[in-house]
Amino acid sequence: MMNMFMRKNKKKEDAIDFSAYKLFAFDIDGTIAKSKMLLDDEMDSLLCGALHKYDVALVSGASYGQMSTQIVSRLSCREQFSRLWLVPVSGSLLYRFIEGTWSCLDSHNFSDEEKKEIMDAFEEVFIDIGYVQPAQHYGDIFEDRDAQITFSALGQQAPISEKMKWNKVSDIRPAITNSLRKKLPLYEVRTGGMTSIDITRKGIDKAFAIKNLSRFSGIAIEDMLYIGDALYPGGNDEAVIKSGVRTFPVKDLSDTKDLLRSILNNTDKREK
């Protein structure tokens, strides 16, 4: 008998049979780890459990270095890394573990001229809308991720508490992104997390990430499930819906852990 995961307050027809999937793709911040915080021990155990049976992909706007430090270095199942796919920088890069090392299979990096065009546009927009950067910030405001330029209003290392406060009271990103899209029509401009704006080449987003992942892995999109905490309109996971992949919204890390437990329980029952 099929084992179904039933979301609270969901109708029976919304139940999902996890045995139908070959790959589970996860957003990072707010889904499997707190913003820029290390993966916790329980999530490590659950993800490693999934990697013993399924392919797993990490799809995030984070840089490859950030993803490696925050998540990969904390995973205790190196022997299962052949099943793990890293898709950092909103799909601009794709990595796989081959012969004991992480190898980049695909990249869509900016040229120096493109980077200058983007930075010039930010400067013009700030002047146009009268934006003044906060006096207190934590780390660099801009981060060059080669394939993505990321603006973080409070800096790359801002505490979560400060990010939450700014997001509720001072979030001016809609005005900034609207102006940037007019000045940068050949680029993707979108918000990320609570304080960031990410810019990639046109067409490079999480929908592209899923399609590219399917191409390189040989796993059909209908055999994948994407899990994220921001699948709502305007959220940084919303773009993935365009790929046609089935999605599963979570509210927080606790929700994701419940989901992973159900996936693992389903697998155990199926194999008995």
In whole angstroms, what is the distance from residue 139 CA to residue 123 CA? 19
27-38 pLDDT, tens per residue?
999 999 998 899
* pTM, 2 dp: 0.83
39-71 pLDDT, tens per residue?
999 999 999 999 999 999 999 989 999 999 999
- CATH code (residue 183): 3.30.1240.20
Residue type for position 188: E
Under the banding of pLDDT at 50, 70 and 90, the label for residue 3 is very low
- CATH code (residue 259): 3.40.50.1000
Same domain, 140 and 231: no
In whole angstroms, what is the distance from residue 86 CA to residue 99 CA? 16
222-261 pLDDT, tens per residue?
999 999 999 999 888 999 999 999 999 999 999 999 999 9
What domain range includes position 153? Answer: 112-201
Examine the pLDDT at 7 and tell me if it is beyond 70.
no
Under the banding of pLDDT at 50, 70 and 90, the label for residue 11 is very low
What's the token pair of residue 77?
């199942």
Examine the pLDDT at 111 and tell me if it is beyond 70.
yes
Among residues 154, 177, 201, which one ends one of the domains? 201
Among residues 201, 221, 237, which one ends one of the domains? 201
Under the banding of pLDDT at 50, 70 and 90, the label for residue 125 is very high
CB–CB of 240/206 below 8 Å? yes
Type and span of the H or E element at 81: none
**Domain total of the chain:** 2
